[in-house]
Chains A and B, each alone.
Chain A
Amino acid sequence: MLAHVRTCPRCRVEEPVVRALAAQLAADPGPTPPPSLAPRVLAAAAPLLARNARHAAWRTTWPAVARALAAALLPLPAILVFDVALVRAIYALLGAVLPHGLSLYLVVNHAALLVLLLTLTYGAVPVLAARQARLLLQDGHPHG
């Protein structure tokens, strides 16, 4: 670079200016960051870090969640067919011995209970799968 400065007329003219500026800047250490600045930045960044952690956890667990949901949805049509048949059979049986209104009431209650149980079961699948995947990752056994 020095050889270039010696031969290049433009750089030869500019060199003292740059040297002088470098000296000026070197003589100016600049403002000192206040001690409270770093803790303030870390406190402000805490929610963003938490969001990053959540997203990172989701990125690592979603394949396991998807697999678990797919596996759980496979037998769902058979479960629904079985439940419908069961409800119809119960309704027929109750209709033979009880008044129509009462048997309908009991069957509707039973069907509502079945729907609630199914919803809870399928709602728990992704939650449990994500938790299981996180535990496996923490133990150092990547899922899948």
Chain B
Amino acid sequence: MARDEELICRVGVGDQDALAELCRRYERPLFHFLARHTGGRDVEDLYQETWLRAVRAAPRFDPSRRFSTWVFQIAVNLCRDWHRRPPPEPVEADPNLPSTTDAPEARIDARRILAALPEAQRTVLLLRHYHGLSEEETAEILGCPRGTVKSRLHAARERLGQLMGSA
């Protein structure tokens, strides 16, 4: 089976099958990341734009990098742009978002708690604890030092502690 990095290099020379395979592998993680980051709004548009940016940048992809880190970096940048878009609306979870979960209460709680975090802290928390990326990978995706990731995580956990205590 071809590695992700080989596939994105093939996308860089116009291989549609390679793109289809990458989409298949990353469909759920990327979609979930975007959904949790934005509270479920504009997820499909952001998902599509993530892949379009990836295809556009594929010819310049450095094969020594990890594809997963690279594509999440694109998604994080898109989420940042999305959060900056006017008019500023309060970030709140969309309870009508379609889901297959069997535990709706837990789903809504997790979403509300995540939505209540500042964007930077939410990103760190999602990448570290939901997508299981290391501190180094998270720092690379966010383009910040590892210490910043640690401090944001700490702040996020403190805030979570307050939120979960009051829930």
In the complex, what's the smallest C-beta–C-beta distance from A81 to chain B, in angstroms?
44
6 contacts between A and B (CB under 8 A): A21-B110, A25-B110, A27-B106, A32-B98, A33-B27, A37-B47
Chain B residue at minimum C-beta to C-beta distance from A37: B44
> Given the complex of chains A and B, what is the CA–CA distance between A28 and B16 in angstroms?
32
Which label, helix, strand, loop or mixed, suits the secondary structure of the A interface? helix
> How many A-B contacts are there with CB distance less than 8 Å?
123
Q: Is the CB of B14 within 8 A of A14?
A: no
What are the residues of chain B within 8 A of A18 when measuring CB–CB?
A: 129, 157, 160
Binding site for B on A (CB under 8 A): 10, 13-14, 17-18, 20-25, 27-34, 37-38, 40-42, 44-46, 48-56
In the complex, what's the smallest C-beta–C-beta distance from A122 to chain B, in angstroms?
30
Chain A residue at minimum C-beta to C-beta distance from B164: A20
Q: Is the CB of A14 within 8 A of B154?
A: yes
Q: Is the CB of A55 within 8 A of B59?
A: yes
Q: Is the CB of A50 within 8 A of B107?
A: no
Q: Is the CB of B103 within 8 A of A25?
A: no
In the complex, what's the smallest C-beta–C-beta distance from A53 to chain B, in angstroms?
3
What are the residues of chain A within 8 A of B59 when measuring CB–CB?
A: 52, 55-56
